[in-house]
Amino acid sequence: MEAERKFPDYMGCAQNEEILSQLDQAKGEKVVFSCVVIKFNRFFVKQERTLLLTNQNVYNIKKNAIQRRINTQSIKALTKSTKPDNL
């Protein structure tokens, strides 16, 4: 039997009660991965966010508040930029 693969929770979301209270734990939603990302808003201003991946959704989190939730079943692809942070 293959062991369950563990991904890093860099931002400690699995221990953050404020974030956990916003997840659907009644349906078994659990933190799988988290990290800091830089997003660009519609005015091309950089904004630091926490990207949270659970077993059901992907979240955009700003200061412990969920800004956006996307169900993982609706995601077809993800991309990662390798451009330097000093744009």
| DSSP H or E stretch at residue 17 | helix 17-20
What's the pTM value of the predicted model, to 2 decimals?
0.83
Average pLDDT over residues 62-73: 95
Mean pLDDT of 7-36: 94
Q: Within a 10 A sphere around the Cβ of 18, how many other Cβ atoms?
A: 11
Angle at 64 between CA 32 and CA 59, to 5 degrees: 45
What pLDDT is recorded for position 48?
Answer: 96
CA-based nearest residue to 6, from 29, 34, 28, 25? 34
